Structure 1
Amino acid sequence: MKRSQTVRLLMMSAAPVLLTACESQEDAVLYKDVTECVASARLTEDQCKAAFDHAKSEHERVAPRYTSGSDCETDFGSGKCQQVNQGAGIQWIPVMAAYALGYYAGRPNYYQSQPLYYSRTSYGNSGGYINSGGQPVAQSTGATKVSRSAIAAPTRAVTVSRSGFGSSSSARGGWGGGGGS
């Protein structure tokens, strides 16, 4: 490959990382389940349940989809994927491991919840929570600061044609932005 092509490819691949680094940070809280949310005393039980239910319904709609269970388990671990059949044939999706609540400045009672998945490779060799687009959100549950795009409402599911993380992955829709091996 020509040197100019290599430089151009490196610049293009670095752009999302650089843009995310410049992006404003937002407050968010990650919970594994409704019980953890209620125990934090930030929201009422009804609010925690409503946020969980919303994230769960989004999970069915936007979870990354794999054509094989082994590809899904490569990214998320053994027993961490489930089979679904939603009109496009049999596919595999990771189980929802947690949900994130993002709070919006100037609107203290408004939050957006979204499903999160625990990826074994999202932070290098140590795992962490990612959103449905494969973007790392946090390594553990609790209060955190995240980029606005990491907690933005997901728009659609992404079909992963190979393992979702790593430099050799191939996907439609922007999946595969996490750490690699």
Structure 2
Amino acid sequence: MKRSKYVQLSMAASVAMAISGCGPTEKTYAVQKKYNFQSVQQCADEKLPVDVCSDAYMTALTEHRRMAPVYDNQADCDADFVADWCQQDSAGKFIPRLGGFELTADGQVTQSQVDAARAQLPASEASSSGGSGFSTSSLLTGLLIGNMLSNNRNSYYSEPVYRYRDDRGSYGSSTLSQRIAKGSTFYRSNQAKYGSGYSTTTTRPAKKPISVASSTSRGGFGSKASARSGWGGGSSS
């Protein structure tokens, strides 16, 4: 009798757990946004967590030191970038100045997160972003990305950005991998002359999960000295 009652209770608990696990799954959306910043402060002004901005800047600076094209003379460096933009290093070689950093963030958001972000929009923007579902509103996407990074979820990566002049003589800012994808070879550089050259696989850093602490704070690493750091140059082309 006791055993029968125990079996019945166990079965009832199993059924209850099964029912609770069969509820409707909330719809999710993939979001991605690329930002092109000239300073940590500019990044923070876009409502992104300041420690993510600082980490992205430091990553781009490290990548710049690792993979920036190196030239024997300034003329060759200027030809690939912008006149008088290159600097001489301690070894007497010439490298382009860092022109900023590109931060790419992506991940998944739920319908409730979309609704919460839409509630923060100005009335004019909210009405144009649609009712249910997810629209491609730039402001809405920015809010979602900012909230996503603040909650230490999903991933991002950053790359150094450089100034250059295109075939039409216009100025622009771009990562090395973007220029390589459009056909640039940097054949004047020492890497191309004496090494294996450049490729989109060697210049694109791997994505990394959010791991920085206190993301919602504006007083973290980089809020003072790094936040003021910036470089000459214009916006992304």
Say yes or no: TM over 0.5: yes
Cα RMSD, aligned residues only: 3.1
Per the alignment, residue 72 of structure 2 pairs with 67
Give the structure with higher Rg (CA).
Answer: 2
User: Given the alignment, which residue of 152, 162, 167 partners 2:188?
Assistant: 162
* Bigger shift: residues 47-56 or 71-80: 71-80
The amino acid across from 2:35 in the alignment is: V
The amino acid across from 1:96 in the alignment is: L
Per the alignment, residue 127 of structure 1 pairs with 171
**C-alpha distance 174-120 of structure 1, shift in aligned 2 (>3 A):** same
Per the alignment, residue 146 of structure 1 pairs with none
For residues 27-176 of structure 1, the aligned pairs below 5 Å read 27-41=33-47, 43-85=48-90, 89-106=91-108, 108-109=148-149, 110-121=155-166, 124-133=168-177, 135=179, 160-162=186-188, 172-174=196-198
Greater per-residue strand proportion:
1
Matches of 1:124 and 1:105 in 2, distance apart?
Answer: 36
User: How far did residue 120 of structure 1 move?
Assistant: 1.5
The amino acid across from 2:63 in the alignment is: E
User: How far did residue 161 of structure 1 move?
Assistant: 4.6
**C-alpha distance 62-83 of structure 1, shift in aligned 2 (>3 A):** same
User: How far did residue 160 of structure 1 move?
Assistant: 4.2
User: How far did residue 128 of structure 1 move?
Assistant: 1.3
User: Which TM-score applies when normalising by structure 2?
Assistant: 0.43
Matches of 1:54 and 1:76 in 2, distance apart?
Answer: 21
- Does the Cα contact within 8 Å between 1:67 and 1:160 map onto a contact in 2? no
Identity %: 29
Q: Which runs of 5+ in 2 are unaligned?
A: 1-31, 110-147, 150-154, 200-237
The amino acid across from 2:83 in the alignment is: S
User: How far did residue 56 of structure 1 move?
Assistant: 0.7
Q: Secondary structure of 1:58's match?
A: helix
- Does the Cα contact within 8 Å between 1:66 and 1:161 map onto a contact in 2? no
Give runs of ≥4 in structure 1 deviating > 2 Å: 74-79, 104-109, 159-163, 170-175
- Does the Cα contact within 8 Å between 1:67 and 1:161 map onto a contact in 2? no
Matches of 1:101 and 1:36 in 2, distance apart?
Answer: 12
Matches of 2:102 and 2:39 in 1, distance apart?
Answer: 10
Number of corresponding residues: 120
Q: Does 1 or 2 have the higher relative contact order (CA < 8 Å, sep 6+)?
A: 2
Q: Which runs of 5+ in 1 are unaligned?
A: 1-25, 137-148, 151-158, 164-169, 176-181
